[in-house]
Structure 1
């Protein structure tokens, strides 16, 4: 199990969660993922994983909707107090997830929508 240092990951193998935030107050969804993260000598990290549990039809529809709206999630590691790292998520056809850290926490398109 690795540790997070100043936003950089040495190494991590285990369960984490992906959280999709509508704004600073509202987390619309959390997904458990099994994740492998490695870091190179300059601190750039690569992460791949899969959903920890098979998504049912409703969960899959929600996941696809969020990915289409904005594929930026916060990845939160065990023991961290909801201080996630902003990542862009890519999903291959066989279900493999690739996470790429978003430099300086920027990159989301901030799609506005009405929750009412």
Structure 2
């Protein structure tokens, strides 16, 4: 795949068995000469207030998601996500799929 334009799904995994949230995105992906994925996109649907709060929380906690393309049950490529003020998402592949930080939080 040198270029893909379509929809994909960002998945935020707390651990190997718990996906906390998924977000559908419209995306344009390119792969450079050394097979590094680079992508830009936007949320496929506007986030409501609750979804926006969840998105902002996850982005602040750890802005790394796995990305699933059409036909995939689960994302396999880890990407770092940056959101611009205009809502544009920039996704950059994380080397070795290691994008998670160790974060501890309590639920009350």
TM-score, normalised to structure 2's length? Answer: 0.92
Q: CA RMSD in A?
A: 1.4
Among 24, 44, 53, which residue is 2:16 paired with?
24
Match of 1:85 in 2: 77
Aligned mates of 2:40, 2:23 — CA distance in 1? 14
TM-score, normalised to structure 1's length? Answer: 0.86
Post-superposition, which runs of at least 4 consecutive aligned residues in structure 1 deviate over 4 A?
none
Among 40, 43, 55, which residue is 1:51 paired with?
43
Name stretches of at least 5 consecutive residues in structure 1 with no aligned partner.
3-9
**Is this contact kept in 1: 2:11–2:75, CA < 8 A?**
no
Query: Secondary structure at 1:94's aligned position in 2?
Result: coil
Name stretches of at least 5 consecutive residues in structure 2 with no aligned partner.
none
Gap change, CA 1:41 and 1:60, over 3 Å in 2: same
Aligned mates of 1:84, 1:18 — CA distance in 2? 10
Aligned mates of 1:110, 1:89 — CA distance in 2? 17
